[in-house]
Copies of this chain bind each other. A is one copy, B any other.
Amino acid sequence: MARRFNLIQSPEDFESFKSFMKEPRGGGAMDVSVAQGIVDDVKMRGAKALVEYTAKFDRLKLEEETLTSQEVDLSELAKLCPENVKRAIEFAAKRIETYHAKQIPSDHRFVDDAGADMAWRWGAIDAVGLYVPGGRASYPSSVLMNAIPAKVAGVKRMVMVAPAPDGVLNPAVAYAALTVGISEYYPIGGAQAVAALAYGAGPLLPVDKIVGPGNAFVAAAKRIVFGDVGIDTIAGPSEITVVADKLNDPSWIAADLLSQCEHDPAAQSILITDDEGFASKVETAVKDQLMKLETQETATVSWNNHGGIVIAKMEQAASLVDLIAPEHVEFAVEEPEVLVESVRHAGAIFVGRYAPEALGDYVTGSNHVLPTSGAARFSSGLSALDFMKRTSIQRISVDAFNALAEAAETLAIAEGLPAHAKSVSIRNNN
């Protein structure tokens, strides 16, 4: 049963709600040393180590020269993807591409009042590694959401790794990979795959950045290789906050809450409403829907352990959302724009009664890789920008040099850096 906080009747509930938001939801208990050992081993022994780990963890025999397996062929697998799923993947891919193409930043150049010709230029990262989990969480949408922003940014080499335990890989993942133009694929996973992407292993040359979700070993390995290569954020369990008034159909809102709960026992769904009666109807609907849900086991644990219902005035809703800083938030209320204007911390906002968050997971075109666990306070969803980098270009004429030299020299001397000062003054004396 979800926790309930009635901030209207019991304002003191606010403190318990704040504590509730700080409760750990797991994921942190990982022993980093296991991942560290695997990363070091792959860094040292390369393809040989990869072959061993893949045989051990995935029961899959890899050829050491190619790091491929006869059992896993993307093109053959893709053929097994049902036609309606193929069409849906193409539909989603096109929309995601259109959306992310609008994110490409402009270069900039200007001459400032000292005569310095200042510019910056954006360029694509050369090579990106895309981690796709195996097993139950092997999602074609994850391939689309991670690869398409890279493609749009201009990344030339997109390397996908996805473990294929016992030779099994989701045909829809294979189809999505071919749709987005993955350049290389290796059936490897875990910390060993992250290490191979970062440092190279046999035929797999190192990439520059690694993105994509994974289990605790993958997250730990990404944290270890961070700095040697770029990584995306460390993703935590998924979250949704739904702000809903009593004019909603309670069963719709219940379905939205459960759509996050089914992801992970550590997922968190929170309802904020100003009507206690409506809250109870949603709670009943959640129970009803849980009974018929194939994913009821996961969803029940998530709802019972981490679910929350907050009764509050609508005027409080925005600040409650900011406190949560949720990955996703839905505004299913009569006047959502007031909330849209006020909320500052959220990965993605879904506006209106016909905007279930699941649409954004697949087909609105916006990215579903979003900051979790309150990271929306300081970070953003995945975008084309994450696959680009900016070079600053400074063209300095003699006149501009003359305008800047004195202050630079003064600061260099003040900082105890005489060679810095000299590199300026030596040009002055000429």
Q: A89-B411, A95-B114, A365-B112 are in contact. Are A423 and B356 (CB under 8 A)?
A: yes
Bound Cα distance A389, B420 (Å): 35
B404 touches A363 (CB 8 A): yes
A247 → chain B closest CB, angstroms: 13
A116 → chain B closest CB, angstroms: 6
A20 → chain B closest CB, angstroms: 18
Bound Cα distance A181, B422 (Å): 31
* Total number of A residues with any Cβ neighbor in B under 8 Å: 126
Bound Cα distance A95, B251 (Å): 57
Query: Which B-chain residue is minimally distant from A383 (CB atoms)?
Result: B390
For residue A44, CB closer than 8 A to chain B, the reply is no
Interface pairs A-B: 4 shortest CB-CB? A230-B378, A355-B396, A354-B401, A380-B390
Residues of B near A82 (CB, < 8 A) are 414
B423 touches A378 (CB 8 A): no
Q: Contact partner of A430 among B249, B348, B426, CB < 8 A?
A: B249
For residue A125, CB closer than 8 A to chain B, the reply is yes
A283 → chain B closest CB, angstroms: 16
B252 touches A427 (CB 8 A): yes
A259 touches B422 (CB 8 A): yes
Query: Which B-chain residue is minimally distant from A391 (CB atoms)?
Result: B346
User: Is the contact region of chain A dominated by helix, strand, or loop, or is it mixed?
Assistant: mixed
Q: A118-B365, A352-B396, A358-B423 are in contact. Are A391 and B376 (CB under 8 A)?
A: yes
Residues of B near A340 (CB, < 8 A) are 393
Q: What are 28 A-B pairs with beta-carbon distances under 8 A?
A: A88-B414, A92-B407, A105-B105, A136-B416, A140-B415, A209-B378, A227-B373, A249-B426, A259-B419, A259-B422, A262-B417, A262-B419, A295-B416, A295-B417, A346-B391, A349-B391, A352-B395, A352-B397, A354-B397, A354-B398, A354-B400, A354-B401, A359-B394, A361-B420, A363-B408, A363-B411, A364-B394, A366-B394
Known: A359-B424, A380-B391. 20 other contacts (CB 8 A): A88-B407, A117-B351, A118-B364, A120-B366, A136-B416, A172-B415, A258-B422, A294-B416, A346-B391, A348-B391, A354-B396, A355-B395, A358-B417, A358-B424, A359-B396, A360-B394, A361-B411, A363-B404, A378-B389, A381-B392
Residues of B near A314 (CB, < 8 A) are none
Within 8 A of B (CB), among A185-233: 208-209, 223, 226-227, 229-230, 233
Residues of B near A343 (CB, < 8 A) are 391
A363 touches B419 (CB 8 A): no
A378 touches B125 (CB 8 A): yes
A342 → chain B closest CB, angstroms: 11
Q: Contact partner of A255 among B102, B112, B419, CB < 8 A?
A: B419
Residues of B near A348 (CB, < 8 A) are 391-394
A349 touches B418 (CB 8 A): no
